[in-house]
């Protein structure tokens, strides 16, 4: 059986690393620190990863923050949720894409999985509100989170499209929603926070965030 190398971008601590070591004791698991809200940290991460000379069969963008109560800017002066949940993975994926393409050429296929959320449906009225991304007065914790999750989906779709248009047919890009269900009733701003906590957090507590791993492990055809 061939060796497959997956790069999972997860929590900004060693908890996930220790958990992976426990779940997969025979696997070679390496921890490299990364702050997705900081472009400099992302560049440093890519330099460190390249030094390992390892391929990337699966890139899993799984890290993120959710519904910050107060407006905050990243070190690069971008609203923190959009910076961490979208711009960071976007930049990281772009820098790692040459390695992913090389891996696909030598191994047959490679895959990129971006973890989104059902909350992508509850963003601002304009979807991604480009004119007010850094407007603290119009900031809404859950709408900003939904905006970043919508950006994950749009990025995944556009990247897949551009790869295919450039003739790359062996790199597959997926965005996935780990929640087990989505509501069919309208959600107003008054019940926004409570309902989204139930919709987003409860299924994860009951089922765990496993769907993204399932997608990553699908046979690549």
- Catalytic positions, written as ranges: 139
C-alpha to C-alpha distance for 68 and 83, rounded to whole angstroms: 13
Nearest of 182, 191, 160, 200 to residue 64 by alpha carbon: 200
Cβ count near 191 (within 10 Å): 11
Return the SS3 of 126.
coil
Return the SS3 of 167.
coil
C-alpha to C-alpha distance for 119 and 112, rounded to whole angstroms: 21
Q: Which long-range contacts (CB under 8 A, 24 or more apart) does 155-164 make?
A: 155/86, 155/89, 155/90, 155/114, 156/112, 156/114, 156/116, 159/93, 159/112
């Amino acid at each position: 059986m061939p060796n497959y190398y997956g790069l999972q971008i997860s929590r900004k601590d060693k908890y996930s690393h220790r958990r992976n070591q426990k779940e997969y004791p025979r696997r070679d698991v390496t921890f490299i620190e990364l702050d997705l809200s900081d472009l400099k940290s992302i560049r440093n991460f890519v330099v460190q990863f390249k030094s390992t000379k390892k391929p990337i069969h699966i890139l899993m963008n799984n890290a993120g923050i959710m519904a910050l109560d107060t407006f905050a800017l990243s070190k690069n002066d971008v609203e923190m949720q959009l910076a961490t949940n979208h711009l960071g993975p976007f930049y990281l994926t772009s820098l790692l894409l040459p390695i992913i393409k090389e891996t696909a050429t030598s191994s047959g296929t490679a895959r990129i999985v971006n973890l989104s959320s059902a909350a992508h449906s509850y963003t601002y009225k304009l979807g991604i509100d480009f004119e007010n991304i850094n407007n603290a007065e119009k900031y809404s914790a859950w709408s900003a989170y939904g905006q970043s999750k919508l950006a994950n989906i749009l990025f995944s779709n556009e990247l897949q499209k551009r790869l295919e248009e450039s003739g790359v047919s062996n790199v597959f890009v997926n965005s996935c929603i780990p929640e087990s269900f989505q509501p069919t009733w309208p959600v107003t701003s008054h019940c926004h926070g409570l309902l989204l906590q139930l919709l987003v957090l409860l299924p994860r507590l009951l089922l765990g965030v496993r769907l993204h791993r399932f997608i990553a492990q699908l046979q690549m055809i």
